[in-house]
Chain A
Amino acid sequence: MLNYVFRRVVYAAPIAIGVTLLVFALLHIAPGDPINAVAGPDAPADVVEALRRAYGFDKPLPVQYLLFLRRILSGDLGVSVATGRPVSGELAAAFVNTLVLALGAALMGFVAGVALGAAAGWRKGSITDRLATLVSLIGVSIPHYWFGMVLVILLAVEARWLPAMGMGTGLGDLAVHAFLPALTMAVIPTGIVARTVRAAVGETLEREFVQALRAKGLRRGAIMRHVARNVSPTLIAVLGLQFGYLLGGSILIETVFAWPGAGFLLNEAIFKRDLPVLQGILLMLAMFFVLLNLAVDVIQAWLDPRMRRA
């Protein structure tokens, strides 16, 4: 097991480096002189020159990259062009907000998806199965930013049951404000989880050991416990990936609901051409995703020893 973990970590390291390379490169594929992105449009010429030397833009690209790497490894994500405040501070708060939303959505999606998928897999071809397939189809085909708008219209504009935007004050208010955006984000994982669980449960139920269990006289609940153990590695993998996508894809929902998370910050950074903040958010989210994938692989290997040979 430790061997697998070690190999997996070693495999993830060059990917992490690649991620920093990609984020670094983004600043340079942007049209125009990168220094304008950092200095702002109307900085006087001597300030521009000083910043150019401070950021090392006058040095060759590989050196710039190494300086960049050293900077971020020491935790300095730069200073926001728009607000002048250090990026890491703003990011931390925003990231927590996004995590709140993503966790809520993941929970909803997980519960709904597993329930639907298990019910469908147990009775293939039945009404439950068709319903689950329909929900899965909707989940993966719907533009979730549009669904958010529809929910806002139905529940916030017409019925006035829930607030349409913002985070609210205090913990109870937070839950009320988070409900709609989290529900909106939950559609996609619901669809994918339901589809995966349905296929996995259906496939497991057809295996010979289930026949043996039934012959032994086990009731549905006990059989499903056996099925769950077989399905869980795949399920964990899908969930991990979906959580990562929820984090990365939150930008659209946060824009619809004006939720001050990392995605909202990213949107602002793009429009203000605030490239240090853009880089910071990308780095943080991508690194989190890499670590998440690592964790998912390790958990999978722990649950299903057959995977440790990979």
Chain B
Amino acid sequence: MPRTRSAVRSPGHASQFARRLLADRVTLACLAILLIIALAAIFAGHLAPADPLKTSMAKRLKPIGTPGFWLGSDELGRDVLSRLIYGGRMSLLMGTWPVVNALIVGGTLGVVAGYAGGWINMAIMRTVDVFYAFPSVLLAVAISGALGSGMKNAIVALTVVFIPPLVRIAETAATQVRGLDYVEAARASGAGAATIIRVHVLPNVLGPIVVYASGLFSVSIILASGLSFLGLGVEPPQAEWGLMLNTLRQAIYVQPWVAILPGAMIFATSICFNLASDGLRAAMELRT
């Protein structure tokens, strides 16, 4: 039975996306958790019960549940709960900022490479291939190690690590669009390159690249905290989950459950990012 066109206008893409998203409880829960973590980080000053930098030699390595140190105290007597809340700032920043940067730089490079074609394409893509020759952790550690420790250098290192895959995705999408008939028609009717890119190429590139980038957030958080764990990211005495995990390592024989708390935060955040990005991807699925 042939399908007839509905007499009623079917809902647009955006509201379909919203409806699918709102029906997906797992994704909503994860987005809610992420929002809570983010808000806690932003309003850390109001939420944290103690000063995250205040040390106390007498109150070192107290267990969970000690009054005044509800999640215990670290090896310098600082309140772990407060440091976890404040640490969220650094960890979330180092986890999200490189992905956003890489999205902009990588997306632009990919679109340029895909649309221009020819030797520009070859130059950009072969350079990207060289970066692909390094496993990501190694590249991040190498660049971060060469530049020196510090949050800014770590963000630069991670941005460089995430640019190659995003360039590849953008280039593939842009190349596909370039060959389509209506782009030919647009060019024939006199549209300039900038217009064609803005109107035709970008909307088709944004979908895949944003979906992929959303999956990168969880990797970025783990890598960023990993760099701090190695001593290459945030510097002491700042609070950051990876750094806390490093300094609390010696404490695993004394207060093991306090020592693993920062890592649990990284794990929880990473899982939420992963599930949320999967859910967003499912909700964005184009109807067939």
Residues of A whose CB lies within 8 Å of any CB of B are 14-16, 18-19, 21-22, 26-27, 29-31, 137-138, 140-143, 145-147, 149-150, 152-153, 157-158, 244-245, 247-249, 251-252, 255-256, 266-267, 269-271, 278, 282, 285-286, 289-290, 293
Q: Which of A26, A141, A270 has the most chain B CB within a 10 Å cutoff?
A: A141
Q: Which of B131, B146, B262 has the most chain A CB within a 10 Å cutoff?
A: B146
With a cutoff of 8 Å between Cβ atoms, the chain B residues found around residue A146 in the complex are 245, 260, 262-264, 266-267
Cβ of B222 under 8 Å from chain A: yes
Map CB proximity to A onto B250-277 as digits: 1 under 8 Å, 0 otherwise. Answer: 0011001001101110110011011100
With a cutoff of 8 Å between Cβ atoms, the chain B residues found around residue A244 in the complex are 135
Interface residues of B in 217-234 (CB under 8 A from A): 218, 222, 225-226, 229-232
Cβ of B129 under 8 Å from chain A: yes
With a cutoff of 8 Å between Cβ atoms, the chain B residues found around residue A269 in the complex are 145
Cβ of B101 under 8 Å from chain A: no
Given contacts A14-B126, A248-B138, contact A149 B146 (CB under 8 A): no
Cβ of B133 under 8 Å from chain A: yes
Cβ of B104 under 8 Å from chain A: no
**A30 contacts B138, C-beta separation under 8 Å:** no
**B148 contacts A149, C-beta separation under 8 Å:** no
With a cutoff of 8 Å between Cβ atoms, the chain A residues found around residue B146 in the complex are 26-27, 29-30, 278
| Bound form: Cα–Cα A52–B150 in Å | 29
CB distance from A109 to the nearest CB of B (A): 15
Q: Which of A27, A150, A244, A245 has the most chain B CB within a 10 Å cutoff?
A: A150
**A140 contacts B137, C-beta separation under 8 Å:** no
Given contacts A31-B147, A149-B245, A152-B252, contact A248 B226 (CB under 8 A): no
| Bound form: Cα–Cα A159–B154 in Å | 37
Q: What is the chain B residue whose CB lies nearest that of A247? A: B135
| Bound form: Cα–Cα A147–B267 in Å | 9
Q: Which of B127, B225, B242, B252 has the most chain A CB within a 10 Å cutoff?
A: B252
With a cutoff of 8 Å between Cβ atoms, the chain B residues found around residue A140 in the complex are 218, 274
Cβ of B136 under 8 Å from chain A: yes
| Bound form: Cα–Cα A147–B137 in Å | 17
11 intermolecular pairs with C-beta atoms under 8 Å apart: A15-B129, A141-B273, A142-B270, A143-B225, A153-B256, A153-B259, A157-B253, A248-B134, A248-B138, A282-B142, A286-B134
**B135 contacts A150, C-beta separation under 8 Å:** no
**B130 contacts A282, C-beta separation under 8 Å:** no
With a cutoff of 8 Å between Cβ atoms, the chain B residues found around residue A248 in the complex are 134-139
With a cutoff of 8 Å between Cβ atoms, the chain A residues found around residue B141 in the complex are 251, 266, 270
Cβ of B60 under 8 Å from chain A: no
CB distance from B75 to the nearest CB of A (A): 15
| Bound form: Cα–Cα A285–B230 in Å | 19
Complex A-B, nearest 8 residue pairs according to Cβ-Cβ distance, in ascending order: A248-B135, A146-B263, A18-B130, A248-B138, A270-B145, A249-B137, A141-B270, A153-B256
| Bound form: Cα–Cα A247–B131 in Å | 16
With a cutoff of 8 Å between Cβ atoms, the chain A residues found around residue B100 in the complex are none
| Bound form: Cα–Cα A217–B135 in Å | 46
Cβ of B143 under 8 Å from chain A: yes
Cβ of B249 under 8 Å from chain A: yes
**A149 contacts B127, C-beta separation under 8 Å:** no
**A145 contacts B231, C-beta separation under 8 Å:** no
**A149 contacts B126, C-beta separation under 8 Å:** no
CB distance from B53 to the nearest CB of A (A): 23
Q: Which of A19, A149, A269, A271 has the most chain B CB within a 10 Å cutoff?
A: A149
| Bound form: Cα–Cα A29–B270 in Å | 31
Interface residues of B in 22-72 (CB under 8 A from A): none
Given contacts A26-B146, A270-B145, contact A289 B245 (CB under 8 A): no
**A145 contacts B226, C-beta separation under 8 Å:** yes
CB distance from A281 to the nearest CB of B (A): 9
Given contacts A137-B275, A278-B142, contact A143 B137 (CB under 8 A): no
**B133 contacts A286, C-beta separation under 8 Å:** yes
Given contacts A30-B146, A140-B218, A270-B145, contact A249 B138 (CB under 8 A): yes
Map CB proximity to A onto B77-114 as digits: 1 under 8 Å, 0 otherwise. Answer: 00000000000000000000000000000000000000
